[in-house]
Amino acid sequence: MAIQVWDYRAEYEVERDDVLAAVDQVMRSGRLILGESVASFEKEFAGYCGASHGVGVGSGTDALMLALRALDIQAGDEVITTSNTAIPTVSAIVSAGGTPRFVDIEPDTYLMDATRLEAAITSRTRCIIPVHLFGQCVDMDTVTAIAGRHGIAVLEDCAQSAGATHRGRRAGSMSRVAALSFYPTKILGGYGDGGMVVTSDAALAARLRRLRVYGTDKTYYAEEHGYNSRLDELQAEILRRKLRRIETYIERRRELAGRYDEQLRGSGLTLPQSSRHNRHVYHLYVVRHQARDAIVKALAARDISVGIHYPWPIHRMRAYAYLGYREGSLPAAEKAARAVFSLPMYPSLTTADQDRVCEALLEIVPEVSAA
């Protein structure tokens, strides 16, 4: 049997009755858009994150873009983030009208190197987006201290880190506003797209609610240019029920990560490093090796799929060539892109399948290293 890098089907079989009950509840409610399920889930999930308000939107990308709009990012404004991230982080900046600027990453955690922020700030810098990548948080103490000194907004990108903590504070609670994704692969994943902006700023939340519905506060009257980006009732009710199990999902991911650590220590792979002040929730289990492509090919021959997160740093993509970054501009991000790959990681991954992955790697890695 093939082993997938991610698969929802076993989880669905276990949770099927609850999922179908959620669908039936919504379908019988008489309200399919922005009803009670969305409102309840917004409140409950924001509370889980440690924020006062949640605004459900159509995707994690929309969550970032709308948050930037609510922060009044405009043409010519610079937003600092990392190039070692999913495309949506940067796509959202551009869609909001801003100009992305990059700092390099820490080579061991792949997170934003917060010590490089100060040097990247210019007179046009208006926001910093620290990406809590792969399931753990950026050094937010340093980020917020620097942002505070310069009067710059901070928007946490928590798409991959629901439930992660830094010094006991949950992702999404360490800045004025944060964006999260409910894409199916995420820590709290739905059965389609979805996202949320969380904040403890009531005025910001009110503006976000307006922006997600065409800029309207009243029916058919736009106060400002807005969008159509709403978390739908079906996804919200499913996610609301899954939220009750989020800590179970996280503990299973951490258990799987611990088993990978134990079995692959000394294998020749560079294993994930968790910052000592973090609770890592392992959205992805990312390893690295200079012979990455050969290893991936050999695993595929054994019906084991892995992912590469990410094969190209964003500053080297054609779509963003206009930003002016050249090869060598961000050496740690570029080096990681050539070597990282992600092992199967999801709560319903069986220990037998995980053992099969580890056994294959323990055979393959020494062979390709010696070649």
**In the chain, % of residues over pLDDT 70:** 100
Whether residue 329 has pLDDT greater than 90: yes
Secondary structure (H, E, C), the chain: CCECCCCCHHHHHHHHHHHHHHHHHHHHHCCCECCHHHHHHHHHHHHHHCCCEEEEECCHHHHHHHHHHHCCCCCCCEEEEECCCCHHHHHHHHHCCCEEEEECECCCCCCECHHHHHHHCCCCEEEECCECHHHCCCCHHHHHHHHHHHCCEEEEECCCCCCCEECCEECCCCCCEEEEECCCCCCCCCCCCCEEEEECCHHHHHHHHHHCECCEEECCEECCCCCECCCEHHHHHHHHHHHCCHHHHHHHHHHHHHHHHHHHCCCCCECCCCCCCEECCCCCEEEECCCHHHHHHHHHHCCECCECCCCCCHHHCHHHHHHCCCCCCCHHHHHHHCCEEEECCCCCCCHHHHHHHHHHHHHHHHHHHHC
Is residue 318 within 8 Å of 200, Cβ to Cβ?
Answer: no
How confident is the model over 17-46, as pLDDT tens digits? 999 999 999 999 999 999 999 999 999 999
Question: How does residue 188 score in pLDDT terms, banded at 50, 70 and 90?
Answer: very high
Q: Domains for the chain: give ranges and CATH numbers.
A: 9-103+110-243 (3.40.640.10), 246-370 (3.90.1150.10)
Tell me what pLDDT residue 1 has: 87
Tell me what pLDDT residue 105 has: 98
How confident is the model over 352-371, as pLDDT tens digits? 999 999 999 999 999 998 87
Single pTM value for the model: 0.97
Q: At 288, list the tokens.
A: 């690295």
Tell me what pLDDT residue 218 has: 82
Q: At 71, list the tokens.
A: 């922060």
Tell me what pLDDT residue 125 has: 98
How confident is the model over 238-254, as pLDDT tens digits? 999 999 999 999 999 99
The count of residues in the chain is 371
Tell me what pLDDT residue 249 has: 98
